[in-house]
Structure 1
């Protein structure tokens, strides 16, 4: 019998390198597949990303309060009831001021329509303050008498009020308003689901961040949440404070619709340097009516309130929670608003916090 030579064992190092290469290719293919699926999913829900982002901002801002109230005896173990109460409160806080503002705007629109009709028939009389101007009274009076004091029925400006451009602007405004209502409705639904998920959702997010990025990823997520929470507190608290103080000033100086104007000032004050536009227009109205002292007083008081709020209160509220310098806070708010719109006001400081955390990791 002819002996059969033993089989040559495969090269173990060669087989291990082949297996490693195969595993590397599989991981690469998995990453590509997962990335493609994620991008496809984001493309499918692209119209709702802004809705989810708004819901995330509100949820992050209210999360400590939600966690505290969840420990009360009435809400313990009743996550659906707690989510319903929080969602309804947010809806009321938004819809009531908006409804009051719309009702007042409709009343003002009726008065404006009556004024325009009277201007068409009788013209616009010369304001009394023109005669009190230090110079240019004859020239302004002559121009006014020639252009505005006569009936404006046939003027180009009045014809333009009935043109196709105005109708187009009206349709565009209606479409934007309908889109805003839809976004708000979907945001409330998303917010309800987020509140209902409760601690389970936050725990899953932190667990996923730790699994993908390690402990540094968890710290980064927590820093970003703190930045969003501090930004919301700084913007809303400062805006509400400025609106309340200037609302009192509007009432004291005799500005009409002081409460509504205070609400508009509070909303404008949530964006840096917009509140002066509102109280500046109110002061200008007082000046036109001949109330020079109240106009100057309102302008000076508003400037002081805005200066203190923007340079001391807001940086402390936002910067102390995020440990960001004032300049980064300002850049984050303004740059975020320019890039992402109103939502960017809250995203910008969070991104600045990421840069600050990364810089801290590099220099330590």
Structure 2
């Protein structure tokens, strides 16, 4: 029987896979046991009990409230929120800048095309950490003090203290507006579902749903007396108060990552646009469409099927590149975990948390982008 199983290709393949899996799991188990024994011999505690202890280190900036007396677990959450915040901003900004760079590279004007090419070659052939250090030194050394701050736009100030710009907030009974927003979301979902059921002809359910949702939100704002309040930064003493402020570390990281990532995103978008057959451009022109309308209504929807897969990898690279925030002192998740490891010695646990978090973020982004890509492909087939 064993001889017959051995000469059975399928049975032999299953046996080899089982042996490889057992060998891998055994190796991982031996490494874990060996690490635990060595750490115990050196008096280093193993486990995640330290997450409840006081962190005892400051975090220079965070979207969430934080004090050094808070736990390591809360510090990890603060670092995670900072990482997600900078990642979302860089992804959005680099995509928009990359789209402009792609159009510049395709331009028939030699000056515009040349500027795009020089930008691309200079950025892509320079290490990212060098660029981050360059922008950090530019922000922290070469910018003027607050009293002589640069003002590129009304209400926007750039100085050695960072970037300051107006903030917008809501005042009034925001609870009524929240309930109105929930009702508006339900109306939009119902309209979208109804439009899917009646794909052609009939009532324009999506337009009606958007109009009804807008009316509900405005009614909720009027009922709660909600008003939009703008807070503009004002110079007082040696610094600005009011508005929203980006610290020099955050500004350097945002600018550096955006400029670096836009070079790669621009080439991906340009490749997707070039992949659309020239006949599509000619057909749109023959129908009387302007170049902008042709690009928006004909070319870009077809180019997305080529753009989305490599852009997924680019977005994942942006998220992983945020770990270089350590070079400019921005307290992202890797910064917080590195500080925790230096204080507690829990290196294995800290690295495990860091790997698990970035793996979860990457898988979530990949899942969302793949679902969006499938939707585009289904729309094209239909």
Q: TM-score normalized by structure 2?
A: 0.26
Higher strand share: 2
Higher helix share: 1
Question: Rg bigger for which structure?
Answer: 1
Greater RCO, 1 or 2 (C-alpha within 8 Å, sep 6+): 2
